[in-house]
Amino acid sequence: NAGVTQTPKFQVLKTGQSMTLQCAQDMNHNSMYWYRQDPGMGLRLIYYSASEGTTDKGEVPNGYNVSRLNKREFSLRLESAAPSQTSVYFCASRHGLAGGAEAKNIQYFGAGTRLSVL
Amino acid sequence: GESVGLHLPTLSVQEGDNSIINCAYSNSASDYFIWYKQESGKGPQFIIDIRSNMDKRQGQRVTVLLNKTVKHLSLQIAATQPGDSAVYFCAERSYGKLTFGQGTILTVHP
């Protein structure tokens, strides 16, 4: 049981390049999330998927797209990378069943992808 | 908008001491709170949570206290160890969304 797995761990891009960050969870969770973490700031939500087949914008969605490929996988795509997107990106998942035990509300995080855009 | 904040950005303690990390929140609609620990180069790791209808919850060496009157949350770590050195985040949930604080850096000196 690996939990939440993110690939790649590190990436350097040039301005204007595109890339997809991959995330997969093996906990049979319904909800998945993408956050970015910048120095001096808390985790900020980019996009989330409450359940398979749905995606919604978070606090900072501009410049990103997401795909909930199946229940396990949730990818984040940068179509045209900008230096402002230099950050550490975290994927998280949560069981998410409404009315379930409180433990099902805990978000579990991956190890992160460190992205630099030059 | 409402946000979660921390009183102290850094905390240094001696090994064996008890640590207290504080968090202020401003959203009275928040119904659930979580503490996470983040070690250098790793993702946030769940420590303990508490619902708004509780004022205290204990885990292994950790206790979370919630004071809704003053909108204050704290994390107490007993007998702090060097392995506890990390950034600690609080997060509040309101209307189903989590909002994270900036974090407190805890440094434990041997």
Q: What is the mean pLDDT of chain A?
A: 92
- B43/A106 touch (CB, cutoff 8 Å), yes or no: no
Q: A111: which chain B residues are within 8 Å (Cβ-Cβ)?
A: 41-43
Residue with tokens 């007993």: B78
Residue range A66-112, pLDDT digits in tens: 999 899 999 999 999 999 999 999 999 998 765 555 667 889 999 99
Average pLDDT over residues B25-35: 91
Question: By the 8 A CB rule, do A94 and A29 touch?
Answer: yes
Q: B31: which chain A residues are within 8 Å (Cβ-Cβ)?
A: none
Bigger pLDDT: B57 vs B25: B57
Preceding omega of A8 cis (within 30 degrees of 0): yes
- A106/B34 touch (CB, cutoff 8 Å), yes or no: yes
Minimal Cβ distance to A110: which of B43, B89, B98: B43
Identify the three-state secondary structure at position A84: helix
* Sign of the CA dihedral with B21 first, then B24, B30, and B31 last: positive
- A43/B49 touch (CB, cutoff 8 Å), yes or no: no
Residue range A17-59, pLDDT digits in tens: 999 999 999 999 999 999 999 987 789 999 999 999 999 999 9
pLDDT band (50, 70, 90) for residue B6:
very low
Per this entry, what is the length of chain A? Answer: 118
For chain A, count helices (H), then strands (E): 0, 11
Q: Tell me how far apart the alpha carbons of residues A48 and B34 are, in angstroms, rounded to a whole number.
A: 19
What the block records as the tokens of A53 is: 């087949």
For chain B, count helices (H), then strands (E): 0, 11
Residue in A111, A110, A94 with CA at minimum distance from that of residue A29: A94
What the block records as the tokens of B99 is: 């909002």
